């Protein structure tokens, strides 16, 4: 697995590359826009050019991931929110294309009482509309599994598989978050548990569809449906599952990205633990 982290773009996109290099990341994840605004400022053309050049030099462009705004709900029941979500998601895809980032990770959405099937149908329709609006852009959207809090969708592998089938595009894949998997009831605490969970994920989703991982331990027990990240090996999952994952040859070329508490302050220690698991 290619180990990395979600790095800051404060001060401009090129700073994300510098942060990645500081932590010796092999892959990076970024936000390309302000997460608290529906209509953020446009990308700076010069900083975009520098980011592409520096990220290519660092070897990040092939595996870089952008995380879409948390404001986006692709199955919102309020039409105004749904329209804003779709417009923002199109903007996210276009930003990734401009920056040369190949993957855009998004939480599928929350049905807000409309029901699972209605929500899945709307998410698929939203994704299809956004992909059609960005036809020709070399950006793959990654549906992220969720912890299943409230009415959020995507906590089951079967829901993610159904969404991919409904969307029906080669430009869609999956990003699996370890904390979310565990919170949703998929055990990762031992090598045996890891193997069983991953066998199910591959049977339902197909290995090629799993393009990236978020590496986070969990503060809460198995099946809690609570999304609270913990440092690697220090939560309810523990070290065994992470060692099995980061040494799994099936995912040797996939980015594994930290989103652990405290951000950069804890990255060095967490990356050191993961590298030790890989024997380096």
Catalytic site includes residue 63: no
Contact 102, 138 (CB under 8 A): yes
Is position 220 annotated as part of the catalytic site? no
What is the rounded distance in angstroms from the CA atom of residue 136 to the CA atom of residue 122? 23
Q: Side-chain half-sphere of 135: how many Cα atoms within 13 Å?
A: 4
Report the distance separating Cα 254 and Cα 64, nearest Å.
Answer: 10
Q: Which member of 36, 41, 79, 135 is catalytic? A: 36
Which of 86, 95, 111, 180 is catalytic? The answer is 180
Q: What is the token pair recorded at 212?
A: 């990236």
229 labelled catalytic: yes
Q: Which residue of the set 6, 111, 214, 254 is catalytic?
A: 214
Catalytic annotation present for 186: no
67 is catalytic: yes
Contact indicator for 135, 94 with CB cutoff of 8 Å: no
How far is 119 from 98, CA to CA, in rounded Å? 30
Catalytic residue among 67, 95, 211, 254: 67
Active site residue 111: no
78 is annotated as an active-site residue: no
- Find the catalytic residue in 195, 259, 269, 273: 259
User: DSSP for 113-161?
Assistant: TS-HHHHHHHHHHHHHHHHHHTTT---EEEEEP----TTEE--SHHHHH
Active site residue 33: no
Q: Exactly one of 33, 211, 229, 254 is catalytic; which is it?
A: 229
Pick the catalytic residue from 6, 52, 63, 107. Answer: 107
Q: Considering the candidates 46, 70, 78, 83, report the single residue annotated as catalytic.
A: 70
Catalytic residue check, 211: no
| Active-site residue list | 36, 67, 70, 107, 144, 177, 180, 214, 227, 229, 259
């Amino acid at each position: 697995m290619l180990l990395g982290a979600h790095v800051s773009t404060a001060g401009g996109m090129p700073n994300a590359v510098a942060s990645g290099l500081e932590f010796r990341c092999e892959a990076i994840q970024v936000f390309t826009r302000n997460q608290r605004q529906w209509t953020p400022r446009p990308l700076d053309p010069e900083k975009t050019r520098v980011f592409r050049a520096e990220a290519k030099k660092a070897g990040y462009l092939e595996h870089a991931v952008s995380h879409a705004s948390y404001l986006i709900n692709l199955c919102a029941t309020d039409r105004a929110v749904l329209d804003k979500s779709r417009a923002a998601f199109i903007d996210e895809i276009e930003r990734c294309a401009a920056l040369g980032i190949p993957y855009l990770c998004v939480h599928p959405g929350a049905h807000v009482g409309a029901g699972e099937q209605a929500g899945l149908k709307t998410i698929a329709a939203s994704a299809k509309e956004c992909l059609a609006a960005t036809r020709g852009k070399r950006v793959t959207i990654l549906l992220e599994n969720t912890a299943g809090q409230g009415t959020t969708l995507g906590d089951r592998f079967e829901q993610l598989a159904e969404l991919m089938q409904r969307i029906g595009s080669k430009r869609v894949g999956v990003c699996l978050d370890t904390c979310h998997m565990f919170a949703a009831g998929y055990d990762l605490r031992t090598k045996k548990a890891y193997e069983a969970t991953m066998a199910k994920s591959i049977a339902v989703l197909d290995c090629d569809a799993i393009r990236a991982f978020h590496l986070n331990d969990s503060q809460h027990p198995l099946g809690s449906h609570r999304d609270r990240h913990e440092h690697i090996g220090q939560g309810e999952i523990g070290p065994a599952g992470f060692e099995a994952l980061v040494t799994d040859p099936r995912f040797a070329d996939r980015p594994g990205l930290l989103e652990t508490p405290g951000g950069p302050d804890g990255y060095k220690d967490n990356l050191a633990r993961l590298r030790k698991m890989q024997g380096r």
